[in-house]
């Protein structure tokens, strides 16, 4: 049997090849490596990113919280857990890529899950813009790139469109010891964290007090020495906490309100996390816990064992 197409006879096998080629072009936008610019006008929901929460979660300018599909970065925010190795690096990288930037959002092709268990919208994200020095390629696939560069794991608990590709990216990153897979660097980080914990444990020396005792000094001007276990930027203030769960009765918090951010180091929430610090000021009570409000950079210093 033959089929006539534009006065040309084509064998069935050849015709099958033509259809296969057309099909691959129609669905090429589902391939992670494909540049975004050829499909951006038809498949993207462009939204502006207001704030990165951690390495796999961010807020849009309209307040919608987005969770990246198929990616799980090490914990930095969850009050039930200690900050994990390479979590801060993942958060910083995602912030560098997309914060205050328009991005392309897409749902999973099969739409097996559109919303996560915490009410976050599950999306694929592409950064679409000109390539700059040291930046990722134009139109790069954020979810995939985080795994490729070793900032996160492939999250395969639920099925999704790129599951097998993401598994492959994780395997390659692990084999090449990229990012969180670099065990040598992980050991160095763990030693540094332990050193800072020990330094914070010298509270009550050098005219400092310990965070758990701060409630005894409400209204007094004191220096509190503590290890910053968790930090959080709410968009209105940065909170540096001595405990994982800020609600613990013996948690101590140093607060920097937005109006004073410019007086401190950029991204203070990231900068001080995991460090031992001395915070000086008048101790106040807020919701049954002690805090000091920082208005000037000289109110906080990093504790060091170096002479």
Residue 255 is predicted with a pLDDT of 98
Query: CB-based burial of residue 156 (10 Å sphere; 0-12 exposed, 13-18 middle, 19+ buried)?
Result: middle
Q: Is the pLDDT of residue 165 over 90?
A: yes
Q: Is residue 135 part of a domain?
A: yes
Same domain, 63 and 159: yes
Same domain, 41 and 177: yes
The confidence band for 29, taking pLDDT boundaries of 50, 70 and 90, is very low
The confidence band for 82, taking pLDDT boundaries of 50, 70 and 90, is confident
CA–CA separation, 91 and 52 (whole Å): 7
Last residue in a domain, options 122, 151, 181: 181
CA–CA separation, 44 and 302 (whole Å): 44
Q: Is the pLDDT of residue 21 over 60?
A: no
Mean pLDDT of the chain: 84
Question: Region 169-186: what's the mean pLDDT?
Answer: 97
Question: Region 51-74: what's the mean pLDDT?
Answer: 95
Q: What is the pLDDT of residues 246-257, one digit of tens each?
A: 999 999 999 999
Write the CA distances from 299 to 9, 168, 199, 254, 295, integer angstroms: 83, 48, 18, 10, 8
The confidence band for 271, taking pLDDT boundaries of 50, 70 and 90, is very high
Same domain, 72 and 109: yes
The confidence band for 136, taking pLDDT boundaries of 50, 70 and 90, is low
Residue 43 is predicted with a pLDDT of 75
Residue 13 is predicted with a pLDDT of 44
Q: Is residue 88 part of a domain?
A: yes
Q: Is residue 100 part of a domain?
A: yes
**Which CATH number belongs to the domain containing residue 81 in this structure?**
2.40.50.90
CA–CA separation, 275 and 228 (whole Å): 6
Question: Region 48-55: what's the mean pLDDT?
Answer: 94
Q: Which of 61-65, 132-136, 224-228, 288-292 has the lowest mean pLDDT?
A: 132-136
Sign of CA dihedral 176, 178, 181, 184: positive
Q: Is residue 210 part of a domain?
A: yes
Residue 49 is predicted with a pLDDT of 96
Q: Is the pLDDT of residue 12 over 70?
A: no
CA–CA separation, 126 and 35 (whole Å): 10
**Which CATH number belongs to the domain containing residue 221 in this structure?**
2.40.50.140
Same domain, 48 and 162: yes
Per the structure, the complete domain to which residue 278 belongs is given by 200-302
Write the CB contacts of 98 (distance below 8 Å, at least 6 apart in sequence).
49, 52, 58, 125, 127, 142
Q: Is the pLDDT of residue 295 over 60?
A: yes
Q: Is residue 43 part of a domain?
A: yes
Same domain, 148 and 282: no
Q: Is the pLDDT of residue 113 over 50?
A: yes
CA–CA separation, 36 and 187 (whole Å): 38
Q: Is residue 17 part of a domain?
A: no
Same domain, 169 and 52: yes
Same domain, 124 and 212: no
Last residue in a domain, options 146, 181, 216: 181
Query: CB-based burial of residue 5 (10 Å sphere; 0-12 exposed, 13-18 middle, 19+ buried)?
Result: exposed
Same domain, 80 and 168: yes
CA–CA separation, 165 and 151 (whole Å): 16
Q: Is residue 154 part of a domain?
A: yes
More confident residue, 285 or 116: 285
The confidence band for 134, taking pLDDT boundaries of 50, 70 and 90, is low
Same domain, 87 and 223: no
Highest mean predicted confidence (pLDDT) among 22-36, 41-55, 206-220: 206-220
Contact 146, 93 (CB under 8 A): yes
Same domain, 160 and 219: no
Number of domains comprising the chain: 2
Q: Is residue 116 part of a domain?
A: yes
How are beta strands 289-293 and 284-286 bridged, if at all? antiparallel
Question: Residue holding tokens 């460090």?
Answer: 275
Q: Is the pLDDT of residue 9 over 60?
A: no
Same domain, 45 and 147: yes
Same domain, 89 and 207: no
Residue 120 is predicted with a pLDDT of 84
Q: Which of 124-128, 244-248, 283-287 has the lowest mean pLDDT?
A: 124-128
Question: Region 47-61: what's the mean pLDDT?
Answer: 94
């Amino acid at each position: 049997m033959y089929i006539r197409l534009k006065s040309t006879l084509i064998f069935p096998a050849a015709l099958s090849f033509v259809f296969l080629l057309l099909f691959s072009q129609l669905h090429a936008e589902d391939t992670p490596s494909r540049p975004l610019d050829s499909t951006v006008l038809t498949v993207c929901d462009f939204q502006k990113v207001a704030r990165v929460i951690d390495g796999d979660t961010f807020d849009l300018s309209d307040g919608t919280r987005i969770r990246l599909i198929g990616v799980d970065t090490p914990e930095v925010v969850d009050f039930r857990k200690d900050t994990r190795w390479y979590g801060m690096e993942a958060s910083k990288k995602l912030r560098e890529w997309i914060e205050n930037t328009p991005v392309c959002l897409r749902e999973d092709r099969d739409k097996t899950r559109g919303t996560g268990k915490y009410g976050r919208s599950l999306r694929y994200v592409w950064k679409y813009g000109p390539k700059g020095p040291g930046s990722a390629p134009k139109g790069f696939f954020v979810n995939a790139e985080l795994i490729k560069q070793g900032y996160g794991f492939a999250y395969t608990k639920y099925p999704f469109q790129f599951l097998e590709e993401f598994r492959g990216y994780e395997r390659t990153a692990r084999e090449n010891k990229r990012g969180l897979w670099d065990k040598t660097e992980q050991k160095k980080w763990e030693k540094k964290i332990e050193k800072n914990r020990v330094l914070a444990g010298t509270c009550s020396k050098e005219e400092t007090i310990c965070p758990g005792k701060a409630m005894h000094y409400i209204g007094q001007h004191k220096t509190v020495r503590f290890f910053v276990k968790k930090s959080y930027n709410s968009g209105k203030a940065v909170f540096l906490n001595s405990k994982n769960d800020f609600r613990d009765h013996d948690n101590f918090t140093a607060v920097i309100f937005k109006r004073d951010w410019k007086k401190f180091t950029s991204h203070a929430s990231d900068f001080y996390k995991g460090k031992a610090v001395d915070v000086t000021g008048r101790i106040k009570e807020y919701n049954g816990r002690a805090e000091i409000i920082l208005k000037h950079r000289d109110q906080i210093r990093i504790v060091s064992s170096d002479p």
